[in-house]
Amino acid sequence: MTSKTEELSELLKKCVQCGSCLVICPIYRATENEVFSPRGKLYYLKLKEAFPDKFDEELAKEYAKTIFTCVVCGRCVESCTSEVKLTDIFREERLASVDQFPKLVQIGENITDEMNVYGLDNEMRAETWTMELYDDFPDIDDRVYSEGMTADTILFVGCLMSFRSRHTNVLKSILKVMEHIDENFLILGGEEYCCGHPLDLLGKIEQADKMREHNTEVIHKVGAKTVVTDCPGCLEALIDHHKLDPSVKVLHMTEYFDEKIESVPNKLDITLKYHDPCELFRNNEVTQAPRSLMKKMGIEVIEMEPSCCGGGGMLRVTDDAIAQDIMKQRIEKEELNEEGTCVVTCCPSCLEQFEQNGVTTGDIAEYLVKALNLEETK
């Protein structure tokens, strides 16, 4: 046995099939199919390890479906009393199964060929949204990095926010606040490559690392002491997988603004339901900063069960129907369709998932500009 197989077999032995991970798994809740539950996935993997010869094409396909029917929210890890690191196992197993999904293969190629998930010209990474903001920021082109420029802080935008128009308003809000606090910052434009997080979800760690090497080099060239991002997936990749100099601080947008802003002139005096993005809450343990910032802004937070919106783990690509079922259950449980209900979050992927299901949703930054009276400023 190779040491990797031994390690896996030790991990699998730890699972006592108690079932504590079942009821909290959003996939199991939505499908009521034990095969897709955390315990079911491990059981399937045990069979694969025990009887590799019996694993024909058909079973390999079924197994791939099981492994990729997961939002990688990490709730199973949190609930497992045997401390089985399920998501680590699932991430590793994804590489062996990814070829069963042509759309995922395409996404992987988009990133390795064009450095972004959409396979678009990466030189358009900044232009796509900055061209919408010339009225508000006439000098915005001066904020886009080119060789030789330096800054204290980098706003790492991420693929989703760079190329999808819903997020332009969030970026406009973030920029307004950064200018308001007089931050010396740059965005990286075409020199920002995908953070590699989507490649991690496909198990393609080597390709992800190539993206990270480039980003790391550019961040060091800029001489930035702080990197800020609104995307929890980028945050995780920047903290855990970019080999940045330890003096470089990586912060989520909410942590950064919570550090910088003590009070606001315009308390909003509103009540919103806050959705904790899984990657921010479980993987990066950022829970206090968003709440602290919202408190300063005069937002009363209604807590919800910390559960996935259905948009994680590439599930919308592999099985969109289940992703939407997860959201529908959440809407029903948390009564998000009630008139006047509004969800606030701080993740572009979660934001889209809520809005596409008809829930009124905003990013914390969009409220922060209001609280700072910056909405109409030029």
User: Which residues contact ligand SF4 by CB under 6 A?
Assistant: 15-21, 25-27, 38-39, 42, 70-76, 79-80, 82, 84, 86-87
CB 144 within 8 A of CB 157: no
Residue 26 burial by Cβ neighbours in a 10 Å radius (0-12, 13-18, 19+)? buried
User: Minimal distance in Å, beta carbon 29 to ligand SF4?
Assistant: 9
User: Minimal distance in Å, beta carbon 248 to ligand SF4?
Assistant: 30
Closer CB to ligand SF4, residue 42 or residue 151? 42
Residue 180 burial by Cβ neighbours in a 10 Å radius (0-12, 13-18, 19+)? middle
Q: Residue 310 has which token pair?
A: 């259905």
Closer CB to ligand SF4, residue 63 or residue 118? 63
User: Minimal distance in Å, beta carbon 318 to ligand SF4?
Assistant: 12
Closer CB to ligand SF4, residue 84 or residue 219? 84
User: Minimal distance in Å, beta carbon 78 to ligand SF4?
Assistant: 8
CB 70 within 8 A of CB 92: no
Closer CB to ligand SF4, residue 25 or residue 250? 25
CA distances from 17 to 6, 38, 87, 225 (A): 20, 10, 16, 46
Contacts for 257 with CB less than 8 Å, ≥ 6 apart: 177, 293, 365, 368
> Strand 185-187's sheet: what is its strand order?
185-187, 153-155, 226-229, 249-252
User: Minimal distance in Å, beta carbon 278 to ligand SF4?
Assistant: 8
Closer CB to ligand SF4, residue 174 or residue 326? 326
User: Minimal distance in Å, beta carbon 75 to ligand SF4?
Assistant: 4
Closer CB to ligand SF4, residue 91 or residue 252? 91
d(CA 314, CA 271): 31
Closer CB to ligand SF4, residue 88 or residue 332? 88
Closer CB to ligand SF4, residue 38 or residue 196? 38
φ, ψ for residue 137 (rounded to 5)?
-135, 80
User: Minimal distance in Å, beta carbon 102 to ligand SF4?
Assistant: 22
d(CA 83, CA 63): 23
User: Minimal distance in Å, beta carbon 27 to ligand SF4?
Assistant: 4
CB 309 within 8 A of CB 354: yes
d(CA 10, CA 12): 5
d(CA 170, CA 221): 27
